[in-house]
Structure 1
Amino acid sequence: MVKKKAESRSTSDQRQYRYYDLIMAAFVCVLLCSNLIGVSKVVTIAGFTFGGGNLFFPLSYLFGDILTEVYGYARGRRVVWAGFGALIFASLMSWIVVTLPAAEGYTGQAALEQIFASTPRIVAASIFAYFIGELTNSYILAKMKLFTEGRFLWMRTIGSTLGGEAIDSLVFYPLAFYGSWSNDLLLKVMLANYVIKVGWEILATPLTYRIVNFLKKKENEDYFDRDTNFTPFSVKV
């Protein structure tokens, strides 16, 4: 009897999904682009000041919500770790390429440095904030799914984003820019970016419903994290 139960659980753990890898790839793509393109650029449109890269960063939270809602916290956590590794590699690659001696006659070094030469402080803040924020988002959504017994998806996606993005913003901006930006600008950008991120999640709710319902039907999966180990320091599923 014990052997049969162990075999059944092993089969479940090794189950293959049709769309999981594609969503993971989309998540990592959005994460890398939003952290490499415009992360330190401050934009003002119609009197509203915000970080340029944050127009697209909230998409990573949307994918994170979808992953946790359909496949569970453990598989969502695995994707967060994949993004963590991708960010570290991209940062290391950027640093190496920028610092390599330019060939004689090459005129693009200044532009390359301006675009990709983020300070170690900004890189570390970005990676740290991402890791904590995404895991907080996934944890809140998984726990709320148990509490609501799978109802009120909109409440879970928005509620988890409120928590995850708050942690991300409170960690990233002070670590990255305190002392180099004025306190007024820091608070203004941090608040504006938080509003943008949460606003994105609210506006994307109909799309989230469609994607989640599609995946649950196609994957025949609607995971509840009743026996999940919620430690962030694991990639086991």
Structure 2
Amino acid sequence: MSQNNLIEFLTSNQEILWLGSTIFFLFSTILLYRLFSHTGLQAAVVFSILLANLLGPRLITIFNIEISLGLLFYASIFFATDVLSENFGKKAATDAVKLGFIVSLIMIIIMWLSLLFDPSDSSQTAEYSLMIHDAFEIIIDLTPRFIIGSLLAYYVSQRYDVWIFHKIKKKTGGDHLWLRNNFSTLSSQFIDSSIYTVVVWWSIVDIRTAIQIGLAEYLLKAVIALIDTGFVYWARSSHTKKNNSIPLT
């Protein structure tokens, strides 16, 4: 299959493109982990939230559901923190959550400051500079409601995710990784979607539409959570072979 044929196939099969992108992103996180251990997972959290913020304004339709493209990368953060929790402990996962929050805050401030610079008025580049400036304004979309909703949903849901993961791990004596991975992620994703829906969409759209948006996004987050279960086992298996200390269950 030629490159053009592949591109045509993917653009005409958005669900396959979405699924392939999800798997590729999970593989990328595993690669960072294999190469750089817990530092690689922390890096995955940071670049996932950066991509989620930058690509958030792009709306796509998957399975007849309209969602933000940033959702693909944002949902993967829970995978990285679960692997950190399982292999390196609660503190490592909590530090990654805090790091992602601080980096997001810094990025938002820097991008807001960048909009205060006037575009070039040079006769050769004025039109191009204004076009890029206007495009950045659309992409950044720094309304207080979206900023507060995004940061609040991220921080609360991620802290809960780490807490409940270790709570279940302690209750089960370290057994049933699939249970703590899926329950912690699915429940924290629900919290994340609920907070974001209430803060961002409340009063902008009617309550029925707000609930539909929240449920649609949660549904696809849940699909990603179920897909990443095998990758979490793979990450722990790799850690076990390297350290010969964590029995698989």
Same fold (TM over 0.5): yes
Q: Summarize the Cα distance change of 1:50–1:126 in structure 2 as closer, same or farther, 3 Å threshold.
A: same
* TM-aligned CA deviation for residue 44 of structure 1: 2.9
Q: Which segment drifts farther, 71-80 or 102-111?
A: 102-111
Unaligned runs of 5+ in 1: 1-17, 223-237
State the Cα deviation string for residues 68-114 of structure 1 (Å, max 9, x = none): 11111111111111111100011101101112222211222211111
1:194 pairs with one of 215, 218, 221:
218
Q: Is the 8 A contact 1:71 1:221 kept in 2?
A: no
* SS in structure 1 at match of 2:205: coil
Unaligned runs of 5+ in 2: 1-35
In the aligned structure 2, how far is the partner of 1:197 from the partner of 1:183?
21
Q: Which segment drifts farther, 133-142 or 114-123?
A: 114-123
The equivalent of 1:182 in structure 2 is: 206
Letter of the aligned partner of 1:212 in structure 2? Answer: R
Q: Is the 8 A contact 1:73 1:138 kept in 2?
A: yes
The equivalent of 1:22 in structure 2 is: 40
Q: Which structure 2 residues correspond to residues 85-234 of structure 1 after superposition, within 5 A? A: 85-104=102-121, 105=126, 106-107=129-130, 108-219=132-243
Q: Summarize the Cα distance change of 1:84–1:220 in structure 2 as closer, same or farther, 3 Å threshold.
A: farther
Letter of the aligned partner of 1:43 in structure 2? Answer: I
In the aligned structure 2, how far is the partner of 1:118 from the partner of 1:36?
11
1:35 partnered with 2:59: no
Q: Percent identity?
A: 25
* TM-aligned CA deviation for residue 221 of structure 1: 5.9
* TM-aligned CA deviation for residue 52 of structure 1: 2.4
Q: How many residues align?
A: 205
The equivalent of 2:69 in structure 1 is: 52
* SS in structure 1 at match of 2:119: coil
Q: Is the 8 A contact 2:186 2:225 kept in 1?
A: no
CA RMSD of aligned residues (A): 1.8
* TM-aligned CA deviation for residue 186 of structure 1: 1.5
* TM-aligned CA deviation for residue 181 of structure 1: 2.5
In the aligned structure 2, how far is the partner of 1:165 from the partner of 1:192?
12
The equivalent of 2:80 in structure 1 is: 63
Greater relative CO (CA pairs within 8 A, separation 6+): 1
* TM-aligned CA deviation for residue 32 of structure 1: 1.4
Runs of 4+ off more than 4 Å: 219-222
* TM-aligned CA deviation for residue 215 of structure 1: 2.0
State the Cα deviation string for residues 111-141 of structure 1 (Å, max 9, x = none): 1111113212211211111000011011111
Q: Is the 8 A contact 1:80 1:131 kept in 2?
A: yes
Q: Is the 8 A contact 1:140 1:163 kept in 2?
A: no
1:84 partnered with 2:101: yes
